Amino acid sequence: MIQQLKISIAFMAIYFVWGSTFFGVSIALESFPPFLLSALRFLIGGLAITVYCIFQKETLPATGDIIKFALWGIVLFGGGVISVVWAQQYITSSFASIVITTPFWFVVLDKSQWHINFKNGWIMGGIAAGMVGVVLLIAQRPSANFGGIDNMEIKAILTIIAGSFLWVVGSLQLRKSQKSGSVYTKTSIHLIAAAVFAIIVSFLSGEGEIMQWSLIKKDAVIALLYLSIVSTSATFLAFIWLIKHKPVALVSTYSYVNPMVAVLLGVFIGGEVISGIQIIAMLIILLGVLSINIPNYKHKLLFK
């Protein structure tokens, strides 16, 4: 019972907190350039977990392991997260959330589940339904006009797709490395390494010259703290706990729910207009999530 409650809370976090992250990034980008924003986000989140590790008297890994965790942190956060933040300069938050379709990469790259994923009609059908819903959302968004899409929007879309690939590669590696050592220590190393990487990129791109600290908005600071503590630290820990206890194809369904959350936030807070087709698309996405979950439900009923 307690285990099931933990699983439910973790799924709620990756579904709804990460869904709201895109909107939070759009608010923070009004005051912070993308790489500096990412650096501050990772640094605050990483230091928060480090403080927890100190109080818990967690032991440091060996030097070789620290380097390995740092490199994977750069792949996971430097590739998977910074790419989305950078892209949101050129596309809206809800559109950015829609472009991310990590379940495809999870199914393709997770070799340990190939014998299950490619043979299970419910899983493949659910992924297909999710992709159909995503395509409908892209096609029906008021701002989506692929006939007149500019070069930077194309680069933003391709950057997010590449970032999704790196996120999945890093996620699968995290699952392998959870067999020993503290997950909190590893996560703090991941985040601090990604923060250093983002600081370097920020410096090389000249963001320091355009950053105006005196013009930072209060909403942007609140968004930064939300992204750092709630989204990056707490929800990421929930995510890596989930991929240890549940199939990655099931965990990856967050990337289908996140766009719905982002679109709804855009409608009710950002003032965007939602059409009937978009509602239908989101219902299709929900059916896709249900379909991917059905094998898990059948397993529970069988062994209840």
- For 254-289, the pLDDT digits (tens) are 877 888 888 888 778 877 666 677 678 777 877 877
Q: Which residue has the tokens 């008021």?
A: 142
Decide if pLDDT at 198 tops 90.
Answer: yes
Q: Of the candidates 240, 242, 253, 244, which has an alpha carbon nearest to the alpha carbon of residue 291?
A: 253
Report how far apart, in Å, the C-alpha atoms of 109 and of each of 102, 103, 160, 244, 257 are: 10, 10, 17, 16, 21
- For 35-89, the pLDDT digits (tens) are 999 999 999 999 999 999 999 888 888 899 899 999 999 999 988 899 999 999 9
User: Between 29 and 289, whose confidence is greater?
Assistant: 29
User: Between 191 and 110, whose confidence is greater?
Assistant: 191
b/e for 214-247, b at 16 or more Cβ within 10 A?
A: eeeeeebeebbbbbbbbbbbbbbbbbbbbbeeeb
Largest distance between two CA atoms of the chain = 62
Measured distance CA(167)–CA(236) in Å, rounded: 12
Decide if pLDDT at 302 tops 70.
Answer: no
Decide if pLDDT at 3 tops 80.
Answer: yes
